[in-house]
Amino acid sequence: MTKFNLQHVVESQQFDRELIDVVFSVASQMKEDLSGSGQLRYSLAGKIMASLFYEPSTRTRFSFECAMRRLGGSVITTENAREFSSASKGESLHDTTRIMNGYADIIVMRHNEAGSAEKAAQVSNIPIINAGDGAGQHPTQALLDLFTIQDCFQGIEGLNIAMVGDLKYGRTVRSLSYLLTKFDNVKLYFVAPTVCQMENDIKAYLDKYQVPWFEETDFEKVLPEVDCVYMTRIQKERFNVYEDYVEAAGKYILGPENVRLMKENAIIMHPLPRVDEIPPAVDDDPRAQYFEQAQNGLYIRMALLYLLLHR
């Protein structure tokens, strides 16, 4: 097995094909163990994870904390680090990170500012995992997304993937775009309201690695062409101009009538939480993979915690 040589996980660009394969191999073993005997072949007994979440989270925070406990480790956490830690007194991220180095073996951090995880990593002697930094990146979400796609199609090469909704502020689609450049013959379709189209830095990165991408406004035109529809919510909390949010909200909804246009073996994904972009009526369609996608987050995060602490 290739050595896992990362000290921190702060952005998707850190992962090449070999590292992705390592993470997926260990995650698959975690999934097999938990789905079978329940006896894990890996352990983090005696290790402590600090959970520093400055923004709300359900799946990411709970899956990380569950992952650490499943592996036999312990968790120290606070409900809202921005309000209930010394950050409310003006303590800098630099100082908080240094302090946590004396208490924990690894830090999982969600912050409202893009680039915050990288700043923390620069002053940390223990691993930092970026659990979402503002509108920046969410690398562990991108890995679990890719893991889900691979599990459904037994590979990534040759797939057409549509990313729909808030592509400007959606850190999950940004991070996934970076990872998809590692695979051959992938095509990306960006379907977004004018006010939240994919940023030029991602488009330039895709061009650099010769990954074809297309911008479309006709949602129904794209649906029959793609193997994966990755829906995202319009992130109201990121908009500075309320009128822009109103313009974007509810523009693209994947209801049962739209799903009928999709390929029979296509899949529907969503990083969750959802608002109205996928009605519950779609949940029982066999192509809906978003709950399995969330479950896969547990296995990916178990794998990353173990690999970072046993490099």
- Is residue 281 located within the same domain as residue 235? yes
DSSP string for residues in 42-65: ---TT-EEEEEESS--SHHHHHHH
Residue range of the domain that includes 37:
12-137+295-309
Residue 149 placed within a domain: yes
- Is residue 189 located within the same domain as residue 273? yes
| 59 given a catalytic annotation | yes
Residue 111 placed within a domain: yes
What pLDDT does 114 receive? 84
| 181 given a catalytic annotation | no
The two three-digit tokens of residue 213, written as one number: 């991408």
What residues contact 126, with CB distance under 8 A and at least 6 apart? 100, 101, 104, 105, 106, 107
- Is residue 109 located within the same domain as residue 200? no
Residue 78 placed within a domain: yes
Query: Which among 8, 60, 96, 168 is annotated as catalytic?
Result: 60
Is the pLDDT at 35 greater than 70? The verdict is yes
Query: Which among 138, 182, 233, 251 is annotated as catalytic?
Result: 138
Count CB neighbours of 28 within 10 A: 15
| 148 given a catalytic annotation | no
| 138 given a catalytic annotation | yes
What are the contacts of 215-222 at 24+ separation with CB within 8 A?
A: 215/189, 215/190, 215/191, 216/189, 216/190, 216/191, 217/191, 219/164, 219/191, 219/252, 219/258, 220/258, 220/261, 222/162, 222/189, 222/191
| CATH code of the domain covering residue 43 | 3.40.50.1370
- pTM for the model: 0.91
What is the band of 173 on the pLDDT scale with cuts at 50, 70, 90? Answer: very high
DSSP string for residues in 240-300: SSHHHHHHHTTS----HHHHTTS-TT-EEE--S--SSSS-GGGTTSTTB-HHHHHHHHHHH
| 119 given a catalytic annotation | no
Residue 166 placed within a domain: yes
Query: Which among 8, 31, 70, 110 is annotated as catalytic?
Result: 110
pLDDT tens for 116-162 read 999 999 999 999 999 988 778 899 999 999 999 999 999 999 999 99
pLDDT tens for 86-103 read 555 567 889 999 999 999
Query: Which among 59, 187, 203, 287 is annotated as catalytic?
Result: 59
Residue 2 placed within a domain: no
